[in-house]
Amino acid sequence: MLQDETPYLKAIFDYIEKKPVRFHYPGHKGNLISLDLTEIPQTDNLFIPEGPLLKAQELSADAFGADYSYFLVNGSTQGIHSAFLSSFKDGDKVLVPFFSHRSIIEGIILTGVKPVFIGEEIDRWGIPQNVRLEGLDRCDNGVKGIVITNPNYFGLTPELKEIVEYAHNRDMIVIVDEAHGAHLHFNKRLPSSGLDAGADIVIQSMHKMGISLTQGAIIHLKGERIDKNILWENVLLLSTTSPSTIILGSIDLCRRELAVNGERILDNLLSEIEKLGYKIKNTGFSLYEKPDMDRTKLTLYDLDGDRLSERLWEDFRIQTEMSSGTYCLFILSLLDSERTLNTLFNALKKIEPLPARNFIPPPGYELVRSPKIAYFSLKEKIKLTSAVGRISGEIITRYPPGVPVVIPGTLITPEIKDYLLLMGRDYVSVTLD
């Protein structure tokens, strides 16, 4: 297919170029932003795409290696929820990494599945390690599927091909949360994408490693395990009926950029990152490196990352993605270049990092009730100091590194109470019965 085109974006521009008198929503009538339209015949309809939007979605499927692709305007979160609703039923057992994003926990709540947590490690710097095949030993015949993250926030990747093969041999559905990996398919120097590894559903945030506007994402489907009509219905169930034409147009643009220029841009970027990594290490910083990792996520560790982040902002107006007392994470995308990487290096050269603070690992949790039942129970908000022995009715995650400290159904232990107090929480929502 001709990946040069952006049929959806073109339809929007064609419309506004005609300078129409708009007797349709949105009420700002184009005065705020002219590209912000509604679903009129000229711009197609997300609920029944049959013109430029359908074409744009077909181009996406072709570019990323899927059978079908659907655009999302509520981020990967919407895709992950839709994937759960399309794959699992109440009571199904599903394998999920312990350090999963909250949207996966929400999928568990929405569907009522029984999570079987894969106990990945978290290292002494607080960086969650990704899932290895051997970590699936708790997977018995009754497991319906696995929801795996590729890569994680720090660029670490699971043993994806092996895990997909293992899961499919047991007739399990494989869903890949690829919120941070929209670029993976477009350069061989990067780890494998979920679709290339043969996963059934893959969800990608175009606004993270692509270049779409915030909230832009795509859900991809491959193979016969999931009914495409059911997936589509669930995508719509969780969608606004007034999707932003600007977000949809930016997804179209992002797909073209990745498909047409992605390989070349990523080649340059990866070479620049390699050079930067070398220079950074020579300056005395520790750069987080693991085999088969996505190096567009750059983590400096074994230092006070919060302090480094503050210095970068205060003295150089450089803003990092996230930091802690032990690391500092920089996200690089298609739009970074030798220039931006040099700016970062020139700033780092002038900073003497402070020693890392002590990382306190999260206490872990035990589920004593189904997350769905606990979430939908009658609940009360109580002071944490009197919450020990009660069952959480809410998800509490810590950013960084996005670790779920409790989810609905968790028994609140003294260790969890202390950890939440340390996080600055005073109250927690607990079940009443």
Ligand X SMILES: Cc1ncc(COP(=O)(O)O)c(C=O)c1O
State the residues that interact with ligand X by CB under 6 A. 75-77, 101, 103, 149, 153, 177, 179-180, 205, 217
Q: In terms of CB distance, is 205 or 323 closer to ligand X?
A: 205
If DSSP codes are grouped into helix, strand and coil, which group holds residue 301? strand
Nearer to ligand X, 180 or 297 (CB): 180
Minimum distance from CB of 94 to ligand X (Å)?
Answer: 16
Token pair of 188, please?
């061989």
The least distance separating ligand X from the CB of residue 75, rounded to whole angstroms, comes to 2
Closest approach, Cβ 230 to ligand X, in A, equals 21
Minimal distance, residue 104 CB to ligand X, in Å: 7
Residue in the shown chain whose Cβ atom is closest to ligand X = 75
Q: At what angle do helices 245-282 and 7-17 cross, to 10 degrees?
A: 120
Please, what is the minimum distance in Å from the beta carbon of residue 201 to ligand X?
A: 13
Q: Supply the DSSP symbol for 195.
A: T
Tokens standing for residue 342? 């040099």
Minimum Å gap between C-beta 359 and ligand X is: 20
For residues 77 and 326, which CB has a smaller minimum distance to ligand X in the complex? 77
Least Cα distance to 128 among 149, 110, 108 occurs for 149
Nearer to ligand X, 150 or 392 (CB): 150
Q: Find, among 304, 213, 206, the residue nearest to 255 by Cα.
A: 206
DSSP 221-245: E-SSSS-HHHHHHHHHHTS-SS--H
Nearer CB in complex with ligand X: 94/430: 94
* 113 contacts 92 by C-beta, under 8 angstroms: yes
Of 101 and 183, nearer to ligand X (C-beta) is 101
Task: Please check whether residue 197 is in contact with residue 160, taking contact to mean a CB–CB distance below 8 angstroms.
Answer: yes
Strands (DSSP E) contained in 326-367 are: 327-331
Q: Residue 275: name the closest of 357, 337, 188 by CA.
A: 337
